[in-house]
């Protein structure tokens, strides 16, 4: 990993568990975004231990997180939080396949004074989080929209991503 002086200013982190159906959708978004060399951000996957986030985002002025959400909204629904809103993320963000939930991790980072200066979180509503590698169609179809939204956060236009490309990422 490059030192802080060599890192791109922005970091996008896809969260999730590939083997838990729709819970891997954050990872799919990260894989789709890595195909766009003009994005202007480093894109990484964080599939398990969310305590890694503290080191991953150290020194970054902008961090965008993408994770699965289970709130009861229709599958594929996209929700965005930023700033103070991230202190009150619903407990359904990160569908409990991580050792530490995302809301708990953000609370800990805030307590430790280790939150990035600007944090944006995208949640994608899931349908299924059982064992399996296949994403639900309506969840998979949210990937291009989230990729475009992240590109806008970064002040860039993103190349279109078709849902079937995201599934192959």
pLDDT tens for the chain, 169 residues: list them.
455 555 568 999 999 988 888 999 999 999 999 988 788 899 999 987 888 899 999 999 999 999 998 888 999 999 999 977 777 777 655 544 446 788 888 888 999 999 999 999 999 999 887 787 889 999 999 999 999 999 999 987 545 554 455 545 4
CATH classification at residue 66: 3.40.50.1450
- The tokens describing 50, both together, are 């969310």
Number of domains in the chain: 1
Does residue 2 belong to any structural domain of this protein? Answer: no
Does residue 49 belong to any structural domain of this protein? Answer: yes
pTM recorded for the entire structure: 0.83
Contact 13, 124 (CB under 8 A): no
Segments forming the whole domain that contains residue 86: 10-168
Closest to 159 in 3D by CA, of 49, 33, 21: 33
């Amino acid at each position: 990993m490059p030192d802080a002086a060599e890192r791109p200013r922005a970091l996008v982190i896809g969260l999730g568990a590939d083997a838990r159906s729709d819970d891997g959708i954050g990872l799919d978004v990260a894989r789709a975004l890595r195909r766009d060399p003009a994005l202007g951000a480093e894109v990484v996957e964080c599939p398990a231990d969310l305590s890694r986030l503290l080191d991953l985002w150290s020194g970054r002025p902008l961090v965008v997180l993408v994770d699965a959400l289970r709130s009861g909204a229709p599958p594929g629904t996209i929700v965005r939080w930023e700033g103070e809103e991230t202190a009150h993320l619903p407990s359904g963000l990160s569908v409990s396949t991580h050792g530490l939930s995302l809301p708990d991790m953000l609370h800990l980072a805030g307590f430790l004074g280790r939150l990035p200066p600007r944090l944006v979180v995208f949640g994608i509503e899931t349908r299924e989080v059982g064992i399996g590698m296949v994403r639900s169609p309506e969840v998979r179809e949210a990937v291009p929209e989230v990729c475009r939204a992240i590109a806008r956060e970064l002040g860039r236009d993103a190349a279109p991503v078709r849902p079937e490309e995201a599934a192959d990422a």
